[in-house]
Structure 1
């Protein structure tokens, strides 16, 4: 998993500070507390969270996949298709379309 510093700018946006971003929480490990430097798009996460259980078609730069959305996390979605489970990074998604 890749983590970026807070001054990272998305290549498709002129100014990353104008978007809504949420900071990832810290983790407790055996070595102490670790602060994760990562950001996600809050609107995409909230929208995907609201359609859990729906059948979606997700287009990525490498191709598309169709299946049932069984979960979402701030940095990835969990899709079930033909008995297989796929974990897709939200940053890799180009578009999402509901399937009837």
Structure 2
């Protein structure tokens, strides 16, 4: 992901793309993409037994540390805590 490439593809300048994206979504392109990556990580934590290193690679967050940082910032819990809580909730429903 690169704002310059996205802007060129859209036929606009990087700054104009950022302004329009912010106006339309209420988020920067980077903030939106990070949120989408964390949502994908949540789904993978819920539906797979993949470790954090593999999930960070799949989501594009590159390192487990980066995944943990953004995951905690956006959800308030670590990926491990999220998986444990999700699994506990799933068990109580069964």
TM-score, length-scaled by structure 1: 0.26
Query: Quick check: which has more Rg, 1 or 2?
Result: 2
Whose strand proportion is higher, 1 or 2?
1
Whose helix proportion is higher, 1 or 2?
2
